[in-house]
Amino acid sequence: MENINIEIQRFYNDIAQKFADEWYSNEDLLPTLKNFIDLLNPNPRILDMGCGAGYESMRLYKLGARVTGIDFSDEPIRIARKRNPQCQFEIMDFRKLDESFGVFDGIVAIASIIHIEDEELNLVFGNMKKVIRPEGYVMIVVVEGNGIWEESSKIELEGVQYNRPFYLHNKLRLNEVAEDNGFVYFDELKLSEEQASFGWKCLLFKDKR
């Protein structure tokens, strides 16, 4: 597991600037984020769990949220802090998330749980439960399926080979894990046609308290 973690960190450190250059100007997810934030109280506290270089954190802030972003890799966080001084960013493995940042009205996990294998889903949902306010909302963006997606796990970029496990997750399994950890399935938000064509799904869960 430790070697896998290092490989994921290496990939996202190396790709951080490229992703920032591409995604700060790409607003494909903006309508989905708007629909999510409309469910919350005005000026909500939102945790961007696996925030990368902070591009969706930036959009959440512009929609009126107070944003804390956490990510496993240090180079994306460096970029996020530089480009979004109005938000808080910390280097953290969200499998170790605790109450140190306080409680949030909403949590977004956009293309971050794709690196969490099925056996660790309970840990991740349990950690989110620790920091979500009663009746708060969680938004998760994953690719529908089961098991590891080998084609997207072992990739080459600019002549460098990476093996950063990419896990597919199906809606029924996520609903089951959510229920076990005190959440209830709430809705599925619409993504862009391009995102949907690759199998991406945006699922909403609500704290049951």
pLDDT > 70: what percent of the chain? 98
Asked whether 182 and 133 are in contact (CB, 8 A), the reply is no
Neighbours of 7 (CB within 10 A): 16
Contact between residue 179 and residue 147 where contact means Cβ atoms under 8 Å apart:
no
CB 191 within 8 A of CB 32: yes
Per-chain mean pLDDT for the chain: 95
Residues in the chain: 209
For the entire predicted model, the pTM comes to 0.96
Q: Specify whether the CB–CB gap between 150 and 156 falls below 8 A.
A: no
| pLDDT band, very low/low/confident/very high, at 5 (cuts 50, 70, 90) | confident
Q: Give all domains of the chain, ordered by start, each with its CATH number.
A: 2-207 (3.40.50.150)
pLDDT tens by residue, 137-147: 999 999 999 99
